[in-house]
């Protein structure tokens, strides 16, 4: 019997301020790693909603995506678990809001930190994915696509049944 290949859909926020990028340091199967605020898309949410949720969970900050930075395909092979996973990452840039007082970082997130492009290059061995650096480079190159490029059918969010 054939098994259909299904990549994991993730969303990520590329947040820059004063020449530095907001990252999270997190526990992973391969140890402590650096990543953009990112995570898996949850059922019933749009890509934009998922990105805003992930930033809030991982940084305690509100985030409003304003542009799609790019769509990335990557493969991660974990030596420690023999897991082989392909990801489709939708990366967004936007406006970082205030931190919500009293909100804790998501489980597994150790801290947030700001890093320059030079610091990102120097720490690349600790990146959770090569997309951490690639997305920062694309951001600095001015790559942006309008959010109108993305369409979410109303049935995804459960509004389709209400509209019919």
| CATH, residue 145 | 3.90.79.10
pLDDT of res. 159: 64
- Classify residue 153: in a domain, yes or no: yes
Q: What are phi and psi of 56, to 5 degrees?
A: -60, -45
Looking at the structure of the chain, the number of domains it has is 1
Q: Which residues of the chain have pLDDT under 50?
A: 162-164
pLDDT of res. 29: 83
- Classify residue 3: in a domain, yes or no: no
pLDDT of res. 148: 96
pLDDT of res. 164: 38
- Classify residue 23: in a domain, yes or no: yes
Tokens of residue 76, six digits: 């991660």
- Classify residue 2: in a domain, yes or no: no
pLDDT of res. 117: 97
Contact present, 22 and 63 (Cβ < 8 Å):
no
Instruction: Summarize pLDDT for 63-84 with one digit per residue, the tens.
Output: 999 999 999 999 887 677 777 8
pLDDT of res. 1: 53
Residue 141 is part of which domain span? 8-163
- Classify residue 1: in a domain, yes or no: no
């Amino acid at each position: 019997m054939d098994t259909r290949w299904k990549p994991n859909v993730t969303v990520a926020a590329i947040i820059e301020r004063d020449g530095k990028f907001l990252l999270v340091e997190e526990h992973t199967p391969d140890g402590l790693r650096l990543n953009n605020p990112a995570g898996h898309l949850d059922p019933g949410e749009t890509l934009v909603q998922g990105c805003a949720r992930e930033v809030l969970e991982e940084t305690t900050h509100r985030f409003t995506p304003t542009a799609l930075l790019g769509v990335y395909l990557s493969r991660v092979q974990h030596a420690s678990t023999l897991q082989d996973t392909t990801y489709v990452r939708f990366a967004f840039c936007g406006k970082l809001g205030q931190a919500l007082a009293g909100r804790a970082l998501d489980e597994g997130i150790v801290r947030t930190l700001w890093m320059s492009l030079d610091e990102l290059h120097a720490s690349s061995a600790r990146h959770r994915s090569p997309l951490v650096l690639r997305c920062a480079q694309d951001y600095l190159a001015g790559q942006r696509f309008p959010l109108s490029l993305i369409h979410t059918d109303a049935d995804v969010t459960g509004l389709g049944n209400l509209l019919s």
